[in-house]
Amino acid sequence: MAMRYIVRRKNSSDLNEIRQEVSDLDSRLSKAGDGLRRTVEISFSPVRSAVYQFSAKKEGANWTWVCPCIELVAENEEGLFKLLEKYNVEKPSHLLD
């Protein structure tokens, strides 16, 4: 059974670190607009991935993409801990021994 963990990003409007992992991010997202949402998945292995969740936000007269959270998906607790380490996120206290 896969484990999933949602990580809130500190700066949802800064997409630079995501662009480093996803070189074609802008073409995957297309143009932002009212009510639009997108997900972009990065697979690290057949059983581990990160799913970036985007939503459109209006800034002035323009729409832009923001990414408020990342869903980490792993095959088990050990795999999830590896992903948390990769993203510099502390292990959740309810999963610690």
Residues 26-39 have pLDDT tens digits of: 999 999 999 999 99
How crowded is residue 70: how many other Cβ atoms within 10 Å of its Cβ?
20
Task: List the one residue out of 44, 34, 97 whose CA is nearest residue 73.
Answer: 44
* pLDDT for position 96: 63
Alpha-helical regions (H) of the chain: 16-21, 25-29, 77-86
Q: φ and ψ at 77, to 5 degrees? A: -60, -45
CA angle 41, 62, 21 (to 5 degrees): 25
Residues 49-79 have pLDDT tens digits of: 999 999 999 999 999 999 999 999 999 999 9
Residue 46 token pair = 């057949």
Residues of the chain above pLDDT 90, percent = 89
C-alpha span between 78 and 28 (Å, rounded): 30
46: DSSP letter: T
The model's pTM is 0.90
